[in-house]
Amino acid sequence: MRSASQGAKRRRRALAAGRWAEAAAALYLRLKGYRILARRYRMTGGEIDLIVRKFDSIVFVEVKMRPDLATALTAIDAAKCRRISRAGRHWLAANPWAARLTLRGDALCLAPWQWPHHAIAALPLDIG
């Protein structure tokens, strides 16, 4: 049986790994010419790891770190897309200037010792 402290340590490690993955994803996207508008955007009922802009596109990015890239991409389910959409609508209400731009949902998948995989328009969003 695991003690409560072991579970807490595991959660802290997972949180730290997630923050590292988001920082690595932000750096990768900056190198690709994206400008970071928000990190870890949260509201009740939804969250977005990164909100970025490149030219006339606003991109809501879900970052996933898994042992391999295929597993990372399949880890994003319909419920996660609904939460991202909900947070995206909230962010757009607070930033109405962005509504006239192209909106899309991307996935940025990370795995140890592999180049990141940027899946453009991989997430179906219900923002309209």
Q: Helix, strand, or coil here: 44? A: coil
Label residue 4 by pLDDT band (50, 70, 90).
low
From the list 46, 64, 70, 75, the residue with the least C-alpha distance to 108 is: 64
Cβ neighbours of residue 84 closer than 8 Å, sequence gap 6 or more: 46, 47, 48, 60, 62, 105, 123, 125
Domains of the chain by residue range: 4-123
State pTM to two decimals.
0.89
pLDDT tens for residues 67-118? 988 888 888 889 999 999 999 999 999 999 999 999 999 999 999 999 999 9
Residues 32 and 93: beta-carbon distance below 8 Å: no
Alpha-carbon distance of 86 to 32, in angstroms, equals 27
Express each pLDDT in 36-55 by its tens digit. 999 999 998 889 999 999 99
Give residue 72's pLDDT.
85
- Coil, helix or strand at residue 123: strand
Can you give the pLDDT at residue 3? 66
CATH class of 4-123: alpha beta
For residue 4, the Cα-to-chain-centroid distance in whole angstroms is 29
Q: How far is CA 102 from the centre of its chain?
A: 18
